[in-house]
Structure 1
Amino acid sequence: MKRSLTLTPLSREHHQALVFSKRLKEIFNAPSDKQLQQWLTFKPLLVAALLPHFEEEERYFLHELGVSSQHHLIQHMLQDHQSIRDYIDAQELDKLSVFADLLKAHVRFEERELFPWLEETYALN
């Protein structure tokens, strides 16, 4: 899918998020005595990659582009971002599979709905 130059860096980071989703499933499926250590090793990578990505999207879309936080697509994005932050903070190992599915669905939503809408509506190059 051809992406505007403006959104290309964010779109590239989505690939990494899909890899993270797969890793979360692997941790969920690991033997229970290994899960906590794997999660504690993996969590800093998630935090270092996802949280700045979310902050960049929110800053760019809401402040630079001036998209209303009331728009349904932006509300969806913000709700997903908060849910993902909550999963990271909760450290509920029995919910890692749900977390993985949410992360994957979020990436697909942004790539298939939000980004195309932004590109068209705001004529992003």
Structure 2
Amino acid sequence: MKRHEALNPLSHHHHHALLMAVEMKKAGTKDNKKKYKELIRELIDFWEGDEEDHFRDEEETLYPLYLVHAENANTELVKEVLYQHAQIRGLVHSLRENQQTSYDKMQQLGNLLEKHVRLEERELFPLIEQAVPEKYLYQANGKFHRDSYSGY
């Protein structure tokens, strides 16, 4: 899907989030080659290295721009995306703090993370690109954190 170049840092991060989602969805299955503690470590590194900042970029910069510039903003979609952010944060916190193995929660997180990225990329980002003037998209881009995987 072609994305406005100002949103590329977020879309690049979405790619890494989908890779993490695949790992989480495989947790506890015969397709999984990693130990639980290794998966938790990867999840924490992903969360602390990028995902927390990525959510803030969207919540504090991108979504407000959309709501200000869209004539008829899809507020229900924004609410759903923000709700998913809260769910993802909760699952990450739970997995991180719980000393017991929980493949079910890990798989739930993987499924939610994938669903969330698809919703943003397929539904919300196209609306943002349409509503927000290009100059403001570029200004927002300057505020986005740089992805630790790609440096984008």
TM-score (norm 2): 0.70
Alignment partner of 2:75 out of 71, 76, 85: 71
Moved more, 82-91 or 4-13: 4-13
Gapped runs of 5+ residues in structure 2?
96-101, 138-152
Counterpart-to-counterpart distance in 1, 2:41 and 2:2:
35
Report if aligned partners of 1:10, 1:53 keep a CA contact under 8 Å in 2: yes
Q: 1:11 to 1:74 in 2, by over 3 A?
A: same
**Which residue does the alignment assign to 2:4?**
4
Counterpart-to-counterpart distance in 2, 1:82 and 1:54:
10
Moved more, 10-19 or 22-31: 22-31
Q: 1:87 to 1:23 in 2, by over 3 A?
A: same
Q: 1:34-49 residue pairs with structure 2 within 5 A?
A: 34-35=35-36, 37-47=37-47, 48-49=49-50
**Which residue does the alignment assign to 2:122?**
112
How far has the Cα of 1:123 moved from its partner?
Answer: 3.6
How far has the Cα of 1:2 moved from its partner?
Answer: 1.3
Runs of 4+ in 1 over 4 A off after TM superposition: none
- What's the RMSD between the two structures over aligned residues? 2.3
Q: 1:79-94 residue pairs with structure 2 within 5 A?
A: 79-91=83-95, 92-94=102-104
How far has the Cα of 1:67 moved from its partner?
Answer: 1.6
2:5 is paired with a residue whose SS is coil
Q: Size of the alignment, in residue pairs?
A: 121
2:4 is paired with a residue whose SS is coil
Moved more, 67-76 or 6-15: 67-76
TM-score (norm 1): 0.83
Q: 1:10-49 residue pairs with structure 2 within 5 A?
A: 10-29=10-29, 34-35=35-36, 37-47=37-47, 48-49=49-50
Write the deviation string for residues 31-68 of structure 1: whole angstroms up to 9, x where unpaired: 8xx42x123322322212211100111111244x1626
